[in-house]
Chains A and B, each alone.
Chain A
Amino acid sequence: MTLQTFLLLAAALFSIGLYGVLSQQSIVMLMMGLELMINGVIAAGGAFWHYVAPRTADGQVLVLVAVTVMALEMAMGFAVVTAIFRARDVDLTDEAGDLKG
């Protein structure tokens, strides 16, 4: 259990999430990929606090911010999905390509 192993875990979670974000067609599954990527950030933040700079609380603050971002991302994502599903019956990313930009 070292900083490196924690970062390896974070890298694995981040990459799996990235795969989901890039490959999933369903918007809600894409959001689960985003959650997994932030999950990796949480693991890395906690590890950096413990193994690099435990005296200041910056790593802990980073974890708090990541957790908040996760909740906000989910809330905004579902609001957008609800809005576009209601307006156009769309729940796939391929059908919502015009949102790009």
Chain B
Amino acid sequence: MSVGAFWALAVLAVAGGVAVFVVDSMARATFALLASLLAVGGTLLLVDLHYVGVLVILMMVMEMLVMAVFMIMYMMNPGGLMPMKMVHGDRAAKIIAAAVFVLLAAGAFLTPWPARRGPPPADPTRALGLAIMGPRMLVMMVVGVAILATMVATVVLATHRGRYDR
């Protein structure tokens, strides 16, 4: 059953990804991207990553809703009433993307991946918590600083004027 669910989610993820660049409205593109992200979150649930899968799903729902607001702010074609095709170098981009896909897919099937090392822990969430509060704490500290830096940078960039040019 999980194999069928995986393929359904995989097809949904890829179809959503394609739809992002095919539909005529940026709002629709945002929700197509959301469908793709949710499908990938669903595939994580299939490989016992319950916490991370739910985290991806919840975070992406929030993120895409915020994104939809910005999309509606910036798009020139809100209702998708007119065809929207705004691309440059379309042919070259398609060729490069296809070549990269062939390369990555060949790598995925031809690389002799190592055998599975050890069984999964009984509670992967607990293992993750112990890792980020122990040996992988540096990763989370860097992530925390990066989030803070992003908050400062976005506010600086988005404020209408600086403190001194009144």
Contacts and interface: CB of A to CB of B under 8 A. Distances in A.
Nearest to B32: A32
B13 A94 contact: no
B46 A1 contact: yes
A23 B87 contact: yes
B126 to A, nearest CB: 9
Contact of B49 (A49, A52, A78): A49
A17 B17 CA distance: 7
Contacts of A75: 150-151, 154
Contacts of B13: 9, 13, 39, 43
Contacts of A96: none
A4 B56 CA distance: 22
A20 B157 CA distance: 25
B44 A42 contact: yes
B134 to A, nearest CB: 10
A92 B89 CA distance: 14
B75 to A, nearest CB: 8
A76 B26 contact: no
Contacts of A11: 100-101, 104-105, 108
Nearest to B17: A16
Given A61-B131, A91-B74, A46 B26 contact: no
Nearest to A80: B157
A18 B10 CA distance: 18
Majority secondary structure, B binding face: helix
Interface residues of B, number: 80
Contacts of A94: 88
A77 to B, nearest CB: 9
Interface string A57-87: 1101101110110111011101111110110
Interface of A: 1, 3-20, 22-26, 28-29, 32-33, 35-36, 39, 42-43, 46-47, 49-58, 60-61, 63-65, 67-68, 70-72, 74-76, 78-83, 85-86, 91-94
Interface of B: 2-3, 6, 10, 13-14, 17-18, 20-21, 26, 29-30, 33, 36-37, 40, 43-44, 46-49, 52-53, 55-56, 59, 63, 66-67, 70-71, 74-75, 86-90, 92-94, 96-98, 100-101, 104-105, 107-109, 113-114, 116-121, 124, 127-128, 130-132, 136, 139-140, 143, 146-147, 150-151, 153-154, 157-158, 160
Given A16-B17, A94-B88, 11 more contacts: A12-B101, A13-B13, A16-B21, A39-B17, A39-B40, A50-B120, A54-B118, A60-B128, A64-B139, A76-B150, A79-B158
